[in-house]
Amino acid sequence: MCSRFRTASAVALAVLLLAGCERERREYHAAPTQAPGTQPRLSTLQPGADQATPASAIGRHYENNAYHVSQGSKWYRWFNCNGCHGNGGGAIGPALMDARWRYGGSIDEVHASIMDGRPNGMPSWRGKLTDQQAWQLSAYVRSLSGNVRKDAVPSRLDGMRSTPPLTQLPELDPEGDDPSAHTVPQP
């Protein structure tokens, strides 16, 4: 995967170009939208089994596509997400570019937080946003914390300089110091 692209070699280049197809498709008409793979957990305390759930296929699909991420950045401003979350640093609402996620940082959980809303002020956008818009928005939100492949995110937008270029952000793994992170219980 391109975000793992570390060494310059003809092989890696070939991989990149192949990844091009997935990254570059402009899916304005028939992009997949369906229920997310995982439901958000608001607590790390989940009795029993391994909780590490990979992002759903649809989530990965949107994360890997530059057009969707870019549309997400548009919705983020059109629908006033920046009013509460700034350009990722937060304001009325929490920051989105750090590794702290109150309600989970996987794209499925972000999508669910957008659609269902959250008790302490996050409004529910179900019925306001189309599912595709919500997915695109979630993909962009993930890119703010460096969690989207770097060749699919815009370095900056035309506007006041705010965050470091998204293409240069370190990858903040929501499974790191995130209180609500998925952790595999040790035997």
Which of the residues 31 through 50 are near another protein (CB under 8 A)?
Answer: none
Q: 107-126: which residues touch another protein (CB under 8 A)?
A: 119-123
User: Among 45, 49, 80, 187, which residue sits at the site for another protein (rule: CB under 8 A)?
Assistant: 80
User: Among 41, 53, 60, 93, which residue sits at the site for another protein (rule: CB under 8 A)?
Assistant: 93
If the CB atoms of residues 32 and 54 are measured against another protein, the closer one turns out to be 32
If the CB atoms of residues 51 and 93 are measured against another protein, the closer one turns out to be 93
Q: Which residues contact 29 (CB under 8 A, 6 or more apart)?
A: none
Question: Residue 22: how many CB atoms within 10 A of its CB?
Answer: 16
* Interface mask toward another protein for 157-186; x: CB under 8 A: xxxxxxxxxxxx------------------
**CA separation for the pair 149, 2 (Å, rounded):** 6
If the CB atoms of residues 45 and 92 are measured against another protein, the closer one turns out to be 92
If the CB atoms of residues 107 and 169 are measured against another protein, the closer one turns out to be 169
If the CB atoms of residues 165 and 185 are measured against another protein, the closer one turns out to be 165
Stretch touching another protein by CB under 8 A, among 34-42, 51-59, 81-89, 178-186: 81-89
- In sequence order, the β-bridge partners of residue 20 are none
Q: Which residues contact 176 (CB under 8 A, 6 or more apart)?
A: 99
Q: Which residues contact 142 (CB under 8 A, 6 or more apart)?
A: 63, 105, 107, 110, 148
CB of 149 to another protein, least distance (A): 10
Q: Which residues of 31-68 are buried (b: 16+ CB within 10 A; e: fewer)?
A: beeeebbbebbeeeeeeeeeeeeebbebbbbbbbbbbb
Q: How many residues bind another protein (CB under 8 A)?
A: 72
Stretch touching another protein by CB under 8 A, among 52-60, 105-113, 149-157, 179-187: 149-157
Q: Are 31 and 13 in contact (CB under 8 A)?
A: no
If the CB atoms of residues 34 and 46 are measured against another protein, the closer one turns out to be 34
